[in-house]
Amino acid sequence: MERQEVLTMNNLTKSYGNKEVLKGVDLRVYQGEIIGYIGPNGAGKSTTVKLILGIEENYDGDIHLFGENIKNNPIDYKRKIGYVPEIADVYDNLTGYEYLTFVGQLYGLSLEDAAHKSEALMQLFGVGEAYHSRISSYSKGMRQKLLIISSVLHNPDILFLDEPINGLDANSVMIFKEILTQLAAQGKTIFYSSHIMDVVEKISSRIILLHDGKVAADGTFEELQATNTEGTLERIFNQLTGFDRHQEIGEQFVAVVGGGTQ
Ligand SMILES: Nc1ncnc2c1ncn2[C@@H]1O[C@H](COP(=O)(O)OP(=O)(O)OP(=O)(O)O)[C@@H](O)[C@H]1O
């Protein structure tokens, strides 16, 4: 069966001032894939996602989502997207119920459907008791669960997740990984950006490494292993980004902390 291409980027370039952040990103993403989108700090991962979501504009190249250039219809395609940003502003004074039903209704759900779904998802994620509490009283992990739930309420076809497990405890991470696997099995596509290499290694059906504004590696974890001498994704990341100074830098850092010179 031919795999459906859901996201295509052709020669995507983006600059801020005279700084070229994306230098020609070419990518094809297929339905049901869990893409682990990794790269060093500042490589341009969030920028790529913000361009796809229409949060950032003024780029060269093309982005097609579900077969349509996003410039042709900049609103409608967003109904099919779920997004967990790395840093999110939530309305702290609202309760979980108020926030989630508000988001659900923005996406076109009725109040009843949004409330029913939100409560069930909060319960399943172990935060049902906080459903009617103000978000300002939530712990970091509880807020993260709220964000995750708000991203899927409208049953999107593609999910963009930026460090989604920030603050989640080990049990919740296991639940979350299972949710992603099940969603992908249902044909949802997941674009997962994170620095937690062992999780990316385990959940991704395909890993894309962005380095210096370009795709530097693209393949399954096994394929990346086969073309690199290192074993874990963390070590492959070091190798592909040409970095081997962690010990030296760590030693110098501690020396400075202790009052010595470099
Ligand atoms: N609004 C902006 N104005 C100017 N420069 C920006 C802006 N947004 C991002 N940049 C720059 O673009 C580069 C890429 O940033 P981006 O946030 O996409 O990186 P990233 O790969 O997501 O990094 P991280 O892993 O640290 O989250 C950085 O050098 C950043 O300073």
pLDDT in tens, 84-129: 998 888 889 999 999 999 999 999 999 999 999 999 999 999 999 9
In angstroms, rounded to a whole number, what is the distance separating the alpha carbons of residues 3 and 5? 6
Residue 230: CB atoms within 10 A of its CB come to 14
Nearest CA to ligand 1 atom 6: 16
ipTM score: 0.96
Q: How far is the CA of 48 from the centre of ligand 1 (A)?
A: 10
Q: Which helix (H) or strand (E) holds 137?
A: none
pLDDT, one tens digit per residue, over 133-174 is 999 999 999 999 999 999 999 999 999 999 999 999 999 999
What pLDDT does 242 receive?
82
User: For ligand 1, which residues put their CB under 6 angstroms from it?
Assistant: 16, 21, 39, 41-47
Q: Kindly report, residue by residue over 25-54, the tens digit of the pLDDT.
A: 999 999 999 999 999 999 999 999 999 999
Residue 212 falls in which region: left (phi positive, over 0), alpha (psi -120 to 50) or beta: left
CA 21–ligand 1 middle distance (angstroms) = 8
Q: What is the pTM of this model?
A: 0.92
Residues 6+ apart with CB under 8 A from 232: 197, 198, 201
Position 32 scores a pLDDT of 96
- Ligand 1, atom 13, lies closest to the CA of 42
Residue nearest to atom 7 of ligand 1 (CA): 16
Token representation of residue 182: 């099940």
Atom 25 of ligand 1, nearest CA residue: 41
CA dihedral sign, ordered 210, 211, 212, 216: negative
Strands of the sheet containing 189-193, edge to edge, are: 81-84, 158-162, 189-193, 34-38, 206-211, 214-219
pLDDT of residue 212 exceeding 60: yes
CA of 129 to the centre of ligand 1 (A): 37
185 touches 31 (CB < 8 A): no
- 3 state DSSP class of 109: coil
Terminus-to-terminus CA distance in the chain, angstroms? 59
Give the pLDDT score at 89: 83
- The two beta strands, 189-193 and 206-211, are unpaired
Q: Which pLDDT score, from 0 to 100, does residue 262 have?
A: 57
| Residue 216: pLDDT band with limits 50, 70, 90 | very high
pLDDT band, very low/low/confident/very high, at 243 (cuts 50, 70, 90): confident
